[in-house]
Structure 1
Amino acid sequence: MAASIEQLLSLLSGLEEPIEELRSLKTATLTLPLSTLAESLPALRLDVIFRLMASPDREQVNLCVAILERFLQALEPIHIAQTYKEDLQRGLYHPDDSVKLLSISQVGRIVESSEAITEILNNLELLKQIIMCIGGDKISVAREAIKSLSKISRSTSGLDVLFGSNLLASLKAVMAVSDVVRYRVYELIVEISSMSAESLSFCANSGILSQLLDELTGPDVLVRVTCTEMITTLASTHHGRQYLAQQGIIDRISNMILGADSDPFSGFYLPGLVKFFGNLAVMDSPQQICEHYPAFLQKVFDMAEGHETTMIGVAVDTLGIMGSTVEGKQVLQKTGPRFNNVFKRIGHHAKNAPTELRVRCLDSIASLLSLPEDHHTEDLLAMSENWFTCLSNQPMDLFRSIATQPFPELHCAALKVFTGNSLYLIQWPLSLRLKVAENKAVANQSWAQKQMIESPGFIEYIVDRTVDPDKDSKDTKFELVKALVNSKTVADVFGNQHYLRLRAYLRDGPYYVKAISTVAVEGAE
């Protein structure tokens, strides 16, 4: 097969209509394993494929791209850089976006190699053209360019080239293409700034980061929204938070929250400001953030008690994230009756709101009621129990009624109030969501187990597999049983009979079906 590839390549050299041969070559390259291709390719030249890719014929271009993607995937980055660097550079000027994507992605591979990256860093013209690709019409090309430039910035030498040469002028020039392109560059700068304190220093000295921060309080409301999202990303790193504090950005955002009531357009950017502080509270210290910026928590409570569904959802998510830590729970507890009223309101929405908001409320409740087993102190257990009773006059009936409804998302969300591990808060950084996931909710707390055993029919519902309509429901029920069986107090609270039933359920698994035996009767058909 390797020989046939060599023959096909040689056949292509003199053809004016090479479509059929390109199709055959594509089939051959896709048939061979990469390891086999890798053995033969260093001895072959792909110049003819790069040359044929310059055609205006769309099918011919697509075939060449597919072939080269396969070939180049089998080659080491250093070989590509030394042999085909000029071909890749010419591809950046090609009118077809698929060719640009091929070239940029291969540059991305090269700069990930410590022995090959110098080949790219020494070619400022190639890097300049990648920067220009950020301003193109095709978002996929711009994204790939941002990804490759971000990879270049992972090394000090890459930072020196990108910010210490005339490439910085190219970066600023492409920002002038349009508002959309300007924010693509901001996205790149924030991504680079988030890597390390060193990379942030380069970005700050470039002036582009300061320009982004200035737009936070500009006249365009939609610009504020975009800026807030980017600044929140930067705040997810310790060095980023330090920089924002030094620049007075955290104080500025706090003032924006204070002035939101007098701004008729604050509904556009206020959710982002609240998420920003929610991020800070969990990444640093909920107590310090709420003490230094009291407007944040006050606004969250106001939003939760309001009537606008979007704002309620953001407030509920924020309280769930903040309350995922013991310190966050204690901060909320210190507000006394105010938080109890807010939590009661969340319970009301969990029962009566549209489905999406109900799920978010149940998710937040699970996070707020969770307690790691090494924090089962008398005070914290009493706090969790008190919050639980604030939700409804009959909170166990509330959750059981939701759990028995024929809607899987509600069914599972209600059960996860007992097990924890709910991950609906997808708009928050992964590091924050993982903190929520590490907690177990009320199933491992003795007061909740007493509520379960005292609720008529609840244990029977837990061990009844026939009421779970789908796989997700069965899996969630199984997690509840596992959490109960693994609890240190459940045997004493539930008693031996119920405890053994739970252990049998755990042993048999979530999908167990009891076999029904039949007896044959002589003469029966």
Structure 2
Amino acid sequence: MAASIGSLLAEISDLENPIEELEVLKTALLAIPLNALGDTVRGQRLDVIFSLLNTNDSVQIELCVDILGRVLQALSPVHLVQNCRDELKSGLTHSDDSVKILALTQISRIVKHPEAVTEVLNNHDLLRGVIHCIEAEKISVGKEAIKALTPLSESKPGLDALFRSDLFKELKDVMATSDIVRYRIYELVVDLSSVSAISLGYCANSGFLSQLLGELTGDDVLVRATAIEMATSLAHSQHGRQYLAQQGIMDKISNMIIGADSDPFSSFYLPGLVKFFGNLAIMDSPQQVCESYPAFQNKVFEMALDPDPVMTGVALDTLGVLGSTVEGKQVLGKTGEKFKSVLLRMSQLASSGATELRVRCLEAISILLTLQTEQQTEDLLLLTESWFRLLSDQPIDMIRNISTQPFPELHCGALRIFTAIAHQPWGQKMMLSSPGFMEYVVDRSAGPTKEAKDAKFELVGALVGSSTAATILGSQHYLRLKTYLREGPYHVTAISIVDTEGAE
């Protein structure tokens, strides 16, 4: 096979129009398993294919990119940096974005390899080209460049190269290109900072982080919204949250929430502020966040009652985040009447809102009502039951009506609410007392889609898996549920056809 690959490459090198031969080569390469391809192509004249990238023929470029993508992936990062460095460097400045992405993808492999990256760090030409790809017009090229630079944060030599060498000036020069590129540099800095406290220290000392956080209170509301999104990403790591706290960013964002009431343009960035604290609550402590920054919780409730569907949607998602933990449920429960008003609004939205909001609302309700077996204390069971009963005078019927509507996402959302309460004794009692509900659970004709069948199967599994279900539901219902579970989600009952030919 190596001989045939070599002969194909030799043949291609002598042709003016090699499209057909490139197709043959591509097919031949795809026929070789990737783990065997490296030995096959090592030492072959790959420069032939690289040289064919110097054309305006898009078909030829596409074929060469496909071929090189396959071949280079089979070669080790060390081999690439030692034998293809100049070709990869040229690829970074190619007029076709697919060639740039090909080069960046392979450079990503190189910088992740402890031996190969050393050669790159000793010669910055390749990294300089990657940095300039951040300013590419096509966003996918910029994203790939960021991805190729991020692994440098995992070692001191890599961080030194980015922040304590001539490459630092390259970063600053590229950053000055435009607002869009500036935010790509911020994205890189946040990605680098997230790796470790050491890498965050480099980014902080560079001045990039303080510049990013300064944009939080800028005059341009769209810039402000982007900065908030970046700060939220930075808060995903514990050392990132510590840095933000040291810089007073939590207090600053809390004050921005308070000041949003008097800003006519706050709708552009307010959802981001709320998402910031929502993420913070789930990663740290819902109680601590809600008690330390009451403006956040108050704003979530206010947004849940807001007629603006964008604000309502963010509030619903945030309530789902808060209610996903026991501590979050307890925090919401302590607010008493405030949260009851929100639940009533959620009930209205789930029944008659716009479809997208209804789906998000059903998801939030199912999360709020979910309690794992080990979480089922008397207080928490009373809390989830009280929330469910607030949804309607007949909440089982209300959710069941939603499940019968001809929208698969609503059907599955309603079933997930039933699954949430199926784990809890009070939920099982309410299901049993609702006429026809247990028949509905084992009715396979309701919900013809795969997603619906899976959701129904999960509901049945929740009931069968509960330690109280057999006692509460009774043996007849319980056995039918076990049979349903044993038969699986896609069981179809066979219908026997009686042959009546010849009958009178």
Above 0.5 in TM-score? yes
- CA contact 1:236–1:283 (8 Å) conserved in 2: yes
Tell me which residue corresponds to 1:432: none
Alignment of 1:173-184 (within 5 A): 173-184=173-184
- Tell me which moved more, 508-517 or 298-307: 508-517
Q: Residues of 1 paired with 2:336 and 2:113: CA distance?
A: 57
Q: Among residues 460, 463, 486, which one is paired with 2:442 in the alignment?
A: 463
- CA contact 1:316–1:360 (8 Å) conserved in 2: yes
Q: Residues of 1 paired with 2:455 and 2:113: CA distance?
A: 44
- Tell me which moved more, 235-244 or 504-513: 504-513
Tell me which residue corresponds to 1:294: 294
SS of 1:259 mapped into structure 2: helix
Query: 2:418 matched to 1:443?
Result: no
Residues 161-196 of structure 1 deviation map (CA, whole Å, 9 limit, x = unaligned): 111111111111111111111111111111111111
Residues 454-498 of structure 1 deviation map (CA, whole Å, 9 limit, x = unaligned): 111111111111122212111111111110011011111111111
> What is the CA distance between 1:118 and its match in structure 2?
0.9
Alignment of 1:95-174 (within 5 A): 95-174=95-174
- CA contact 1:8–1:25 (8 Å) conserved in 2: yes
Tell me which residue corresponds to 1:424: none
SS of 1:32 mapped into structure 2: coil
Structure 2 letter corresponding to 1:504: T
Structure 1 letter corresponding to 2:219: P
Alignment of 1:484-503 (within 5 A): 484-503=463-482
Query: 2:222 matched to 1:222?
Result: yes
Alignment of 1:27-426 (within 5 A): 27-419=27-419
- Tell me which moved more, 6-15 or 123-132: 6-15
Tell me which residue corresponds to 1:436: none
Tell me which residue corresponds to 1:425: none
> What is the CA distance between 1:353 and its match in structure 2?
0.5
Query: 2:484 matched to 1:505?
Result: yes
Tell me which residue corresponds to 2:462: 483
- CA contact 2:5–2:41 (8 Å) conserved in 1: no
> What is the CA distance between 1:19 and its match in structure 2?
4.1
> What is the CA distance between 1:80 and its match in structure 2?
1.1
SS of 2:254 mapped into structure 1: helix
Query: 2:451 matched to 1:472?
Result: yes
- CA contact 1:403–1:412 (8 Å) conserved in 2: yes
Alignment of 1:18-33 (within 5 A): 18-33=18-33
Aligned pair in 2 of structure 1 residues 21, 523: CA closer, same or farther (>3 Å)? closer
Q: Residues of 1 paired with 2:489 and 2:415: CA distance?
A: 14
SS of 2:195 mapped into structure 1: coil
Structure 1 letter corresponding to 2:478: Y
Q: Residues of 1 paired with 2:388 and 2:43: CA distance?
A: 71
- CA contact 1:107–1:120 (8 Å) conserved in 2: no
Q: Residues of 1 paired with 2:125 and 2:315: CA distance?
A: 49
- CA contact 1:189–1:208 (8 Å) conserved in 2: yes
Aligned pair in 2 of structure 1 residues 470, 27: CA closer, same or farther (>3 Å)? closer
- Give me the TM-score of the superposition, normalised by structure 1: 0.93
Q: Residues of 1 paired with 2:501 and 2:267: CA distance?
A: 77
For structure 2, which runs of at least 5 residues remain unmatched after alignment? none
Aligned pair in 2 of structure 1 residues 457, 113: CA closer, same or farther (>3 Å)? same
> What is the CA distance between 1:521 and its match in structure 2?
4.5
For structure 1, which runs of at least 5 residues remain unmatched after alignment? 420-440
Q: Residues of 2 paired with 1:410 and 1:56: CA distance?
A: 50
- CA contact 1:2–1:37 (8 Å) conserved in 2: no
Q: Residues of 1 paired with 2:344 and 2:356: CA distance?
A: 18
Runs of 4+ in 1 over 6 A off after TM superposition: none
Tell me which residue corresponds to 1:6: 6
> What is the CA distance between 1:332 and its match in structure 2?
0.9
Q: Residues of 2 paired with 1:485 and 1:400: CA distance?
A: 20
Q: Residues of 1 paired with 2:258 and 2:238: CA distance?
A: 25
Structure 2 letter corresponding to 1:286: P
Aligned pair in 2 of structure 1 residues 451, 20: CA closer, same or farther (>3 Å)? closer
- CA contact 1:443–1:449 (8 Å) conserved in 2: yes
> What is the CA distance between 1:253 and its match in structure 2?
0.2
> What is the CA distance between 1:265 and its match in structure 2?
0.5
Identity among equivalent positions (%) equals: 61
Structure 1 letter corresponding to 2:474: G
Residues 270-301 of structure 1 deviation map (CA, whole Å, 9 limit, x = unaligned): 01100111111111111111111111101111
> What is the CA distance between 1:205 and its match in structure 2?
0.9
Q: Residues of 2 paired with 1:511 and 1:24: CA distance?
A: 44
- CA contact 1:303–1:312 (8 Å) conserved in 2: yes
- Give me the TM-score of the superposition, normalised by structure 2: 0.96
Q: Residues of 2 paired with 1:375 and 1:255: CA distance?
A: 35
Number of equivalenced pairs: 504
Structure 2 letter corresponding to 1:453: L
Q: Residues of 2 paired with 1:399 and 1:57: CA distance?
A: 59
Aligned pair in 2 of structure 1 residues 211, 521: CA closer, same or farther (>3 Å)? same
Aligned pair in 2 of structure 1 residues 449, 251: CA closer, same or farther (>3 Å)? same
> What is the CA distance between 1:142 and its match in structure 2?
1.1
Structure 2 letter corresponding to 1:402: I
- CA contact 1:320–1:364 (8 Å) conserved in 2: yes
- CA contact 2:323–2:368 (8 Å) conserved in 1: yes
Aligned pair in 2 of structure 1 residues 241, 520: CA closer, same or farther (>3 Å)? same
Q: Residues of 2 paired with 1:456 and 1:21: CA distance?
A: 71
Cα RMSD over matched residues?
1.7
Aligned pair in 2 of structure 1 residues 503, 14: CA closer, same or farther (>3 Å)? closer
